[in-house]
Amino acid sequence: MTVHETVADGKLGNEELGQFTRKVDEIKRRLNEGTITLSWALNELQRIIEGRQSVSDLVIDFDATPMIPSGLEIRESDQIASRFKGKWTFNAKALALYLSKKQKQGKLIKGHDLKDDLDGEKVMGAQLLDFYLKNPHLIPDEWKGKATFFWGTIYRGSFGDLCVRYLYWSGKAWDSDYNWLDNNFNDTNPALLANLFISPLAFC
């Protein structure tokens, strides 16, 4: 079941170009009104051209509620207590993929057992998954072929079953889905953790 809008590669369609043109027209209008300055607009446009993002764009609030797929809910009692919390400025070097020993070398582990194994780890929440889908250029190419799980947010279905969302490459776009904890997890299903072996200055 697909639970999030895909982020596709390729050229813009007429609708997307129309949206872009309207935004450019809005910038021109505000320049003429004097509500923004030319120097500010030029600096922001140059930042976009160079692919740079403002610091505020990179701040992720792990205490905020992430996207909740239809039919699911989030309960505090279901969550991994050691999950990463608070606000954090995105830093790819501060992240690491993790596999339990019980899911390596072709082994399979039930999701509930993997959840227990992850207790004590700084698992990253679905807030980061939502961030990645909005910023697909920040997703490492080496994650293609994997389903990267964000165990910092556990969801509950209408019948009480638990699930966790993951990020994957469909062949054309980055997308998300979820897997139930009653299912097996293998060595292509890593969890994304905060890498605590780097400088704590990375965690803002």
> Which candidate, 151, 129, 170, 155, places its Cα nearest to that of 6?
170
pLDDT at 200 > cutoff 80: no
> b/e map of 190-200 (b: 16 or more CB within 10 Å)?
bbbbbbeeeee
Q: Give the domain extent around 74.
A: 55-202
Q: What is the pLDDT of residue 20?
A: 85
Is residue 18 domain-resident? no
30-71 pLDDT per residue, tens: 888 877 778 778 877 887 777 666 655 789 999 999 999 999
Report if residue 193 sits inside a domain: yes
Residue 76 tokens, joined: 């505090």
pLDDT score, position 194: 94
pLDDT above 70 covers a percentage of the chain that reads 87
Nearest CA-CA partner of 139 in 166, 164, 167, 177? 167
Burial of 96 (0-12, 13-18, 19+ CB in 10 A): middle
Report the pLDDT value the prediction gives residue 56, as an integer from 0 to 100.
58
Domain total of the chain? 1
pLDDT confidence tier of residue 9, bands split at 50, 70 and 90: low
Residue 28 lies in a domain: no
As a whole number, mean pLDDT of residues 94-117 equals 95
Amino acid 27: pLDDT: 87
- The C-alpha atoms of residue 37 and residue 45 are separated, in whole angstroms, by 12
12 located within any domain: no
89 domain residue, yes or no: yes
Question: pLDDT (tens digit, 9 = 90+) per residue, 131-169?
Answer: 999 988 889 999 999 999 999 999 999 999 999 999 999
Instruction: Indicate whether 20 belongs to any domain.
Output: no
Predicted model pTM: 0.73
Quick one: pLDDT at residue 199?
36
β-bridge partners, 142: none
Nearest-CA neighbor of 149 among 171, 132, 126? 126
- Is there a domain that residue 105 lies in? yes
- In this prediction, residue 125 carries a pLDDT of 98
Has residue 162 been placed in a domain? yes
- Beta carbons of 111 and 162 less than 8 angstroms apart: yes
**CA–CA separation, 127 vs 7, rounded Å?**
16
Write down the mean pLDDT value for the chain.
87
